[in-house]
Amino acid sequence: MRTQVGIIGAGPAGLLLSHLLHLRGISSVVLERRSRDYVERRVRAGVLEQGTVDTLIEAGVGERMRREGLPHHGIELRYGGAGHRIAFEKLVPGRAITVYGQQEVVKDLIAARLAAGGDVRFEVENVVPHALESEPYITFGDGERLDCDVIAGCDGFHGVSRQSVPEGVLTTFEREYPFAWLGILADVAPSSEELIYTRTDRGFALHSMRSPAVSRFYLQVPADTRVEDWPDERIWDELRVRLESVPGFTLTTGRITEKGVTPMRSFVTEPMQYGRLYLAGDAAHIVPPTGAKGLNLAVADVRVLTEALAAYFADGSTALLDGYSEACLKRVWRAQHFSWWMTTLLHTFEDEDAYGRRLQLSYLDYVTSSEAAAKTLAENYVGLPFPEDARLNVL
Ligand SMILES: Cc1cc2nc3c(=O)[nH]c(=O)nc-3n(C[C@H](O)[C@H](O)[C@H](O)COP(=O)(O)OP(=O)(O)OC[C@H]3O[C@@H](n4cnc5c(N)ncnc54)[C@H](O)[C@@H]3O)c2cc1C
């Protein structure tokens, strides 16, 4: 079997890449380890940057998101007994975020690929990339082989692609945080119209949502937390203590339908390519979810890779492919810094002394009182515009 681009992983990065390549007349095969049902139900990100929304609409897969997604023009920072709104409409006019679950993006992309006759294979075992420096191919299943011009490693942080690069080629940069997020989904209308990021001395909490009837919450918890130790009542009690910290706010509770613990990690690998293997999304970098950047970075990588592959398959030019990693890493590092900064600003650190806590509160006061500081948060949160040379040209 032969294709132009062999894609490992059917998360947002792999599926969007396959779709964008199809729009450019480039063939691909997507190999995914999990079942379709599993990837369509995997609850993860939910905050889409302006550029992600524009990309999905431009690529013809944004119709349902436009109907069902919730555009937000601000977020609240809550600490010290008061809430402070970061108003996007004033600070970054014309730019906003849209709340729309990652699994909905995945469903829309799978539907589009299958409707166009795309080759997306689920429950594929033993995927291994080979001959990355010459004529690459992927073996999978029970001795099957996919020959391709290029391999896109879109298989997330634990995938096989990055691990197939010879030792010593990649440099990794990493930071682990001494806490995790306990995340829940609940069948209850959101208690607030906008996201609330709360800092308390007991730890961070986030009130988010997925639809007018479904809320999403996160609690900062110790890194070794087990979901079994958090029965529903304990979760609601802790959310109440952390979120009902301003006068007049009452948390509405409901049936919890999903619980999970997410470790907090920052990670970058450089370069994001080796031979004819190109890494995109979580396969190349991870951010703590505080800045809501992971899914959005995956989309940004895929835009750059699509342009580079389109140039390569049009006339054999490799300039954009050669510069792929460098082009992506600028945005990746901006998002790394923003995600680290939001995490540091809003979480409690066990080893933090009173001096450190004062610094944290001083910075929160600054961000919520200075327009310049608030603008820095707002423009990073809604996502910086894509550079001119990464514009898509899909139509
Ligand atoms: C709980 C949680 C909350 C998050 N919240 C946010 C948020 O609010 N905003 C945000 O922007 N980001 C958030 N993220 C991050 C975001 O979900 C990821 O950045 C995003 O999924 C990256 O997409 P991806 O396609 O690169 O990787 P993935 O979504 O991880 O997809 C990789 C795919 O490859 C498959 N795969 C792995 N190994 C193999 C193999 N050997 N063979 C074949 N297939 C393989 C996997 O099954 C998977 O389907 C969150 C993540 C988590 C876990």
Tell me the pLDDT tens digit for each residue of 150-171: 999 999 999 999 999 999 999 9
How do residues 228-281 score in pLDDT, each as one tens digit?
999 999 999 999 999 999 999 999 999 999 999 999 999 999 999 999 999 999
Average pLDDT, stretch 84-109? 96
Compute CA distances 91 → 152, 289, 333, whole Å.
37, 23, 23
In sequence order, what are the residues at sequence separation of 6 or more whose Cβ sits closer than 8 angstroms to the Cβ of residue 167?
A: none
Q: What is the pLDDT of residue 395?
A: 36
Spatial distance between the Cα atoms of 97 and 331, rounded to a whole number of angstroms: 18
Q: What is the pLDDT of residue 45?
A: 86
Q: What is the pLDDT of residue 160?
A: 98
Measured on CA atoms in the order 217, 259, 50, 280, is the torsion positive or negative?
A: positive
**b/e per residue, 272-303, with b = 16+ CB within 10 A?**
bbbbbbbbbbbbbbbbbbbbbbbbbbbbbbbb
Cα Rg of the chain, angstroms: 21
Mind telling me the catalytic residues?
72, 197, 289, 293, 381
In sequence order, what are the residues at sequence separation of 6 or more whose Cβ sits closer than 8 angstroms to the Cβ of residue 29?
A: 1, 3, 5, 6, 7, 119, 120, 121, 146, 148
Q: What is the pLDDT of residue 392?
A: 55
Q: Are 168 and 23 contacting, i.e. CB atoms less than 8 angstroms apart?
A: no
State which ligand 1 atom lies nearest to the alpha carbon of 39: 49
Average pLDDT, stretch 212-226? 96
Q: For atom 5 of ligand 1, which residue has the closest CA?
A: 45
Neighbouring-strand partners of residue 216:
185, 208
Q: What is the pLDDT of residue 281?
A: 98
Question: Is any atom of ligand 1 closer than 6 Å to the C-beta of 281?
Answer: yes
Neighbouring-strand partners of residue 70:
99
Q: What is the pLDDT of residue 351?
A: 86
- What type of residue sits at position 188? V
CA of 309 to the centre of ligand 1 (A): 23
How do residues 349-393 score in pLDDT, each as one tens digit?
988 899 999 999 999 999 999 999 999 999 999 999 887 655 555
CA of 80 to the centre of ligand 1 (A): 34
Q: What is the pLDDT of residue 394?
A: 47
What domains can be seen in the chain, in order of their start residue?
Answer: 5-73+95-174+265-350 (3.50.50.60)
Question: Is any atom of ligand 1 closer than 6 Å to the C-beta of 31?
Answer: yes
Q: What is the pLDDT of residue 350?
A: 87
How do residues 183-200 score in pLDDT, each as one tens digit?
999 999 999 999 999 999
Q: What is the pLDDT of residue 390?
A: 53
Share of the chain above pLDDT 70, in %: 98
Share of the chain above pLDDT 90, in %: 95
The CA dihedral of 227, 230, 236, 237, to the nearest 10 degrees, is -150
Longest C-alpha distance within the chain, in Å? 65
Tokens of 340: 């680290």
Q: pTM score, two decimals?
A: 0.95
Q: Is the pLDDT score of 147 beyond 50?
A: yes
**Mean predicted lDDT score pLDDT of the chain:** 95
In sequence order, what are the residues at sequence separation of 6 or more whose Cβ sits closer than 8 angstroms to the Cβ of residue 116?
A: 19, 22
Q: What is the pLDDT of residue 149?
A: 98
Question: Is any atom of ligand 1 closer than 6 Å to the C-beta of 296?
Answer: yes
How do residues 55-65 score in pLDDT, each as one tens digit?
999 999 999 99
Q: What is the pLDDT of residue 352?
A: 86
How do residues 283-331 score in pLDDT, each as one tens digit?
999 999 999 999 999 999 999 999 999 999 999 999 999 999 999 999 9
